[in-house]
Amino acid sequence: MVVKVLVVDDSGFFRRRVSEILSSDPNITVVGTATNGREAIDQALALKPDVITMDYEMPLMDGITSVRNIMQRCPTPVLMFSSLTHEGARVTLDALDAGAVDFLPKNFEDISRNPEKVKQLLCEKVHSISRSNRRGFGTASLTPPAGGSSSRPASVPSTPAPAARSQPSVSQPPVERHAASASAAPKRKAYKLVAIGTSTGGPVALQRVLTQLPANFPTPIVLIQHMPAAFTKAFAERLDKLCKINVKEAEDGDILRPGLAILAPGGKQMMIDGRGTIRILPGDERLNYKPCVDITFGSAAKSYNDKVLAVVLTGMGADGREGARLLKQGGSQIWAQDEASCVIYGMPMAIVKANLADAVYPLDDIGRHLVEACL
């Protein structure tokens, strides 16, 4: 299937270059361009693209406002371009809050020096988000409702759900329906660690899960989110403001403790030793993901045997599957997010298809089930 793309940027150079890169892929067609957010809305309504690439800073209407309007009027997967700065990270998180699916750094040097690398990355992102789940667009948010997340009961999902929500959907594929049918109630256990891995769609998904946990949540938590180095500190700070538990970006030597979630730093690898100490290692160029879910899961399996509860959320690819296999061999529990609530059903699908999932839950039920399993 040919993916139709709308390119939105106020820079003529960037519009042309992105259009050229995308047009070099025979399965991508650039159906139009726009120079500002207001024009992007009009073009999205008229052209009905499969994917929109969006800049942030533009005249007349910025990219985030445009994304919010597009999600309300014609929900479409949006790929944001952002700068690799702390401010760029903040803006990108705002864009994901508004409904954007994913993001790429806007790096002019890479376009000049590594055109093939940029082409591969950009085209892969466009193809992957064109297959994303549109049902959830415009409904997720990194911003809590009025009164803040701290005013919500910890064991109640942030979005009201019918009582049968935790049951498997009849539209799920047979392999997942089988896994979910045996997972109505979580297994209660004295876990020493909760480990959560995710990628595309993860920032919103993690917020939805973590804001349901009470301040006295008894089990230490580690988070692995595929994200550039400049972004993870800003993301951890944002989650810390929204959640009752504390959230911080991991530093070498950090100690796991109850009521604290530690986020793996972008560009590096995070491991856990048997004493509950975090070890941060340089990012290995041989690995596709920095941080890598498999690395952290694998170290947890070695350090904690059967005392880990691992959760794999929305994301592209299969990172986490091999680490989950090691955890499973040691007797730990593995949960996967269900297809219907995923932005990209890649990582959880890899867990389910490998028969590693002890439970498959909708996103809005996972936080509540963590409380039931660990308290």
Q: Which of 166, 199, 303, 332 is catalytic?
A: 199
What does the block give as tokens for 256? Answer: 């796991």
**How far from the centroid of its chain's Cα atoms is residue 243's Cα?**
17
Stretch(es) of the chain classified as CATH 3.40.50.2300: 3-136
Sheet harboring 78-82: ordered strands across?
Answer: 28-34, 3-8, 51-54, 78-82, 102-105
- Classified by CATH at the fold level, domain 3-136 comes out as Rossmann fold (3.40.50)
pLDDT given for residue 1 in this prediction: 85
Could you confirm whether 332 is annotated as catalytic?
no
pLDDT tens profile 199-224: 999 999 999 999 999 999 999 999 99
What's the mean pLDDT when you consider all of the chain? 87
List 223's β-bridge partners, or say none: 196, 263
Stretch(es) of the chain classified as CATH 3.40.50.180: 149-374
CA–CA distance, 39 with 137 (Å, rounded to integer): 21
| pTM for this model (two decimals) | 0.85
Q: Strands (DSSP E) along 95-181, which ranges?
A: 102-105
DSSP string, 281-345: EEPPTTSS-SS-HHHHHHHHHHHHTT-EEEEE-SBSS-TTHHHHHHHHHTT-EEEEE-GGG-SSB
Q: Which of 149, 226, 294, 332 is catalytic?
A: 226
DSSP string, 223-239: EEE---HHHHHHHHHHH
Could you confirm whether 273 is annotated as catalytic?
no
CB 315 within 8 A of CB 198: yes
The CATH homologous superfamily to which domain 149-374 belongs is Methylesterase CheB, C-terminal domain (3.40.50.180)
Mean local confidence (pLDDT), 273-298: 92
pLDDT exceeds 50 at position 176? no
pLDDT given for residue 321 in this prediction: 98
pLDDT given for residue 108 in this prediction: 57
pLDDT tens profile 122-153: 999 999 999 987 655 544 445 543 334 443 33
DSSP string, 255-278: B--TTEEEEPPTTEEEEE-TTSBE
pLDDT exceeds 70 at position 179? no
Coil, helix or strand at residue 26: coil
Instruction: Please compute, for residue 62, the number of CA atoms within 13 A of its CA located in the half-sphere on the CB side.
Output: 11
Helices 86-98/202-210 angle, 10° precision:
80
- Percent of the chain residues topping a pLDDT of 70: 85
Q: Are strands 246-249 and 193-198 parallel, antiparallel or unpaired?
A: unpaired
pLDDT exceeds 60 at position 163? no
Coil, helix or strand at residue 107: coil
CB 239 within 8 A of CB 264: no
pLDDT given for residue 110 in this prediction: 62
Could you confirm whether 319 is annotated as catalytic?
yes
Q: Which of 94, 97, 254, 319 is catalytic?
A: 319
